[in-house]
């Protein structure tokens, strides 16, 4: 009897291999041959799922974004105080453990590549508004305000919407520096910096 293959599971496995390769060797290290070797499948078998390096890279990037989005959605569904929910949502964007470090490394690598690679144009277009929406949700929950319903919607409070944009810049900068200089950004320091940034949301500005 022929062996049944769960194609969704195999795609997920291949995406995880691609993430590991990007984290270890950089995005240029993602070749069809290398992924096939790491996944212990033939090049022909890999091409059954992805017909090119670009196709593989695009799938890996989308799968990474979906994984992080799913974790954030769990926090949104959870019965948590608003400030705890906001903190946990934002922590999903920071390299606080081995898995999330790989997430950040892959996301940054793919985002940089998307500036020049038209096949990643969808990722490039969605990256900024998607991250901004997460930060707006976090600010809304942290401050007890109505969250935006759709990506691109600003917060009702103009001051808090400016704070959300500042928070977005802070999260991006912190994640980049923490990945580039891990010795200078241990987990407790990352959490302390995030705590201080969220605390700055509380005073009402002009």
Q: 129: which 2 tokens? A: 């508004």
pTM of the model: 0.86
In CATH terms, the fold of domain 53-201 is Tetracycline Repressor; domain 2 (1.10.357)
Is the sign of the CA dihedral 158, 161, 167, 169 positive or negative?
Answer: negative
Q: How many helices (H) and strands (E) does the chain have?
A: 9, 0
- Which DSSP symbol is given to 27? G
Q: What is the rounded distance in angstroms from the CA atom of residue 167 to the CA atom of residue 171?
A: 6
How high is the pLDDT of residue 205? 45
Q: For residue 4, what pLDDT is reported?
A: 47
pLDDT at 32: 79
Per-residue pLDDT tens listing for the chain (206 residues): 445 456 778 888 888 888 888 888 887 777 778 888 888 888 887 777 777 777 778 888 888 889 999 999 999 998 999 999 999 999 999 999 999 999 999 888 888 888 888 878 888 888 899 999 999 999 999 999 999 999 999 999 999 999 999 999 999 999 999 999 999 999 999 999 999 999 998 765 44
- 156 within 8 A of 145, measured Cβ to Cβ: yes
Q: Which of 171, 103, 83 is nearest to 131 (CA)?
A: 171
Place of tokens 């929910």: 85
* First-last CA distance in the chain: 72
What count of residues does the chain have? 206
> Where are the chain's structural domains?
53-201
With H, G, I as helix, E, B as strand and everything else as coil, classify residue 200: coil
pLDDT for 204: 54
Considering only CA atoms, which of 113, 95, 96 is closest in space to residue 104?
A: 95
The confidence score (pLDDT) of residue 163 equals 95
């Amino acid at each position: 009897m022929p062996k049944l293959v769960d194609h969704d599971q195999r795609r997920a496995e291949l995406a995880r291999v691609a993430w590991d390769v990007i984290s270890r060797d950089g995005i240029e290290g993602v070749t069809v041959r290398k992924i096939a070797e790491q996944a212990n499948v033939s090049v022909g078998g890999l091409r059954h799922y992805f017909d090119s390096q670009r196709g593989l890279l695009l799938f890996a990037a989308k799968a990474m974004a979906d994984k992080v989005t799913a974790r954030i959605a769990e926090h949104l569904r959870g019965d948590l105080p608003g400030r705890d929910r906001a903190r946990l949502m934002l922590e999903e964007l920071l390299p606080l453990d081995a898995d999330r470090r790989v997430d950040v490394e892959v996301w940054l690598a793919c985002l940089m590549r998307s500036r020049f690679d038209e096949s990643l144009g969808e990722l490039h277009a969605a990256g900024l508004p998607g991250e901004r929406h997460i930060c707006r949700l976090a600010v809304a929950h942290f401050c007890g305000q109505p969250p935006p319903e759709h990506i691109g919607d600003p917060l009702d409070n103009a001051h808090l919407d400016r704070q959300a944009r500042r928070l977005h810049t802070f999260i991006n900068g912190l994640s980049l520096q923490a990945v580039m200089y891990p010795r200078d950004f241990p987990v407790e320091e990352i959490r302390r910096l995030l705590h201080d940034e969220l605390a700055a949301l509380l005073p009402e500005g002009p």
